[in-house]
Chains A and B, each alone.
Chain A
Amino acid sequence: MRDTPVRRVSFFSVLVVAGLMVPLVVQSSYWLHVFAMAYFYGLLAATWSFLDGYSGQFSFGNIALVLIAGYTSGLLAKYTGAPMWVGILLGILASGVVGLFIGILCLRFKGAYLALFTIAFAEAIRLVLNTEHRFTRGPAGLSVEGFFDTTSKVPYYYLMFAILIVSMFILYKMAKSKWGLFFRAVREDDDVASALGVNIIRYKVIAFVVASLFCGVAGVFYAHFNQMLAPNFGTLATMGLVIGMAVIGGVENLIAATLGGIFLEFGLESLRGFGAWRLVVFGGLLMVVVRFARNGLLAPLCRKLTGEEV
């Protein structure tokens, strides 16, 4: 099926307008917070989809990169007098640089080995952040200054929404460009892609760096929004949430993965009363979707609504 731009543009416009109107309808501070976190997870799910669904690299490192960015910004603010925007920029840069490094190392790994290596990386980061508590405040948490001098969640909502829209736009454009074709070819069969002239090294690393930069963006937002950073946010459990969200939404479809993140975070928050059982359902849902609906639950719907493959 070929592109139908009109349908696509209308679909996205509706989403954007709806998003802009939310704070007018939702007054509760708590729910606005949930919205912002839902967008946060949506962005992370998109970065994971970009890594696995588009370039075939199964990474457990996204949350670690979030923490790296957040802690860079927070620690810089705490120990130097630097203005917030410096911390933010350096935080994002730090994620990008670490992502570049890890991405290059990951070139030598395939499949489960890549996953294992990124698990080691993520655990190492969490460990160091926890143990060097004299510096990072460890499990007690590092407090970080908020973006805005207000207790209202409204500006944070709009900020994260804007970040999400802009990030998704960039990622989407990349996915639709020839780079997107190369990523997909690398994912499908990287030996064949290479034999057909695709510089698989360059594109694997690009995908990694891009995903890492957006994890960094999410990370600095989280730091200055939550105003508290703790290493245990970076456990494999949190990473598992992100992976699950992307896969349940539809890992090969950027929009589906993002929506998966948003809806599932809402679902999880709404069911908070059920405690651990909602995560039991989440885990079960992940297994069932992988087994019976590998493409994800939202992907077919997204394709219909946007009229294309993405």
Chain B
Amino acid sequence: MFSVDYILMQGANGLVIGCLYALMALGLTVIFSVLKIINFGHGEFYMIGGYMSYALATLVGGLNPFVGVLFAIVVLLVVGSAFDALFLRPLHKGIVERPDEYAILVTFGLSFFLQNLMLGLAGPFPHRTESFLPGGIHVGSIMISGDRLVAAGVALILMFGLLLFIKMSWTGRAMRAVSQDREAASVTGINPVRTGNIAFSIGAALAGASGALIAPIFSIVPDVGVLPGVRSFIIVVLGGMGSVKGAILGGLIIGLVESMGAALIPDMSRALAYRELYGLIIFVIVLLFRPRGLFGEEYS
């Protein structure tokens, strides 16, 4: 039906975009590990990242497009930190009743707030940023767009950097300690409030980086983050909540599934529309039959 080349190309594209999915999901994982909450505003951090990259390029012309990514990261670190300090502090202190409900409400409120803020500021019309690497790269008989390849490459570098940071740095160790046992960690002198703040900011920044990296590829609109947001939930559940390996592997898997899935349904218009559905189906299956995902803990 389809040529091997086509399937390979879809697969390659899937893996490449999967790296970006993984980056964003990793952000969600960091937040979940340390704060024990699912950030329902994660998609909007991605969206803001895209807009920040565009904003910088518009305000300061002629800059290397990578600076836009850096700018997005910085902005999201600030936004994440501010939101955490204003709204998530009670969670770190452990003084909230029904913390799950609180976290969903407050992060969902943020999602609402940010989406409409950008709608008000930037309007509903799509924006696009400059290409990182125009044209395509040929690998054998497969062609992958330069942008996607560069984006994936940077994503991999960022993920690698993050993992190093978590393993080696003092803050990284503090984050791991708090994620295992907040009270024990605070007894040993780690400040859970500050650690939580840092974790949330990092998580936000990773989502923002993902958005900035994808900006040249897809257009930016205020609700561009909704699907990626849902997708990052799917990935985190598939990989296992709180599992770094899971987030990365999950991202690649979902990237592949979406690409290949689109290739395998003959009816073109339906196939594309149902791309999202494949992810949702996997999501539901995992939730029903193996809620801890691939690498998650059995008792959480």
A touches B in complex, CB < 8 A: yes
Binding site for B on A (CB under 8 A): 52, 56, 58, 105, 108-113, 115-117, 119-121, 123-124, 127-128, 130-131, 235-237, 240, 243-244, 247, 275-277, 279-280, 282-284, 286-287, 290-291, 294
Contact A276 B112 (CB under 8 A): no
Contact A127 B233 (CB under 8 A): no
Contact A108 B288 (CB under 8 A): yes
- How many angstroms from the CA of A124 to the CA of B223 in the assembled complex? 18
- How many angstroms from the CA of A109 to the CA of B289 in the assembled complex? 12
B93-152 interface with A by 8 A CB criterion: 97-98, 100-106, 108-117, 119-120
B128-181 interface with A by 8 A CB criterion: none
Binding site for A on B (CB under 8 A): 37-38, 40, 86-87, 90, 97-98, 100-106, 108-117, 119-120, 222-223, 226, 230, 233-234, 237, 270, 273-274, 276-277, 280, 283-284, 287-288, 291
Contact A111 B274 (CB under 8 A): no
Q: Which 9 A-B pairs have the closest CB atoms?
A: A283-B113, A283-B112, A111-B100, A286-B109, A276-B119, A287-B109, A279-B116, A276-B120, A131-B273
Contact B230 A290 (CB under 8 A): no
Contact B38 A112 (CB under 8 A): yes
* Cross-chain pair count, CB within 8 angstroms: 121
Contact A127 B110 (CB under 8 A): no
Contact B226 A287 (CB under 8 A): no
**Minimum CB distance partner of A124 in chain B:** B280
- Which residue from A247, A280, A284 sits with its C-beta under 8 Å from B120? A280
Q: Using A117-B287, A120-B284 as known contacts, say yes or no to A287 and B277 having CB atoms under 8 A apart.
A: no
Residue numbers in A under 8 Å from B109 (CB-CB):
244, 283-284, 286-287, 290
Q: Using A105-B288, A108-B288, A113-B287 as known contacts, say yes or no to A287 and B106 having CB atoms under 8 A apart.
A: yes
Residue among A124, A235, A287 with most chain B CB within 10 A: A287
- How many angstroms from the CA of A121 to the CA of B287 in the assembled complex? 12
**Minimum CB distance partner of B281 in chain A:** A124
- How many angstroms from the CA of A115 to the CA of B105 in the assembled complex? 11
Q: Using A124-B280, A287-B109 as known contacts, say yes or no to A111 and B101 having CB atoms under 8 A apart.
A: yes
- How many angstroms from the CA of A131 to the CA of B275 in the assembled complex? 11
Residue among A105, A108, A111 with most chain B CB within 10 A: A111
**Minimum CB distance partner of A280 in chain B:** B116
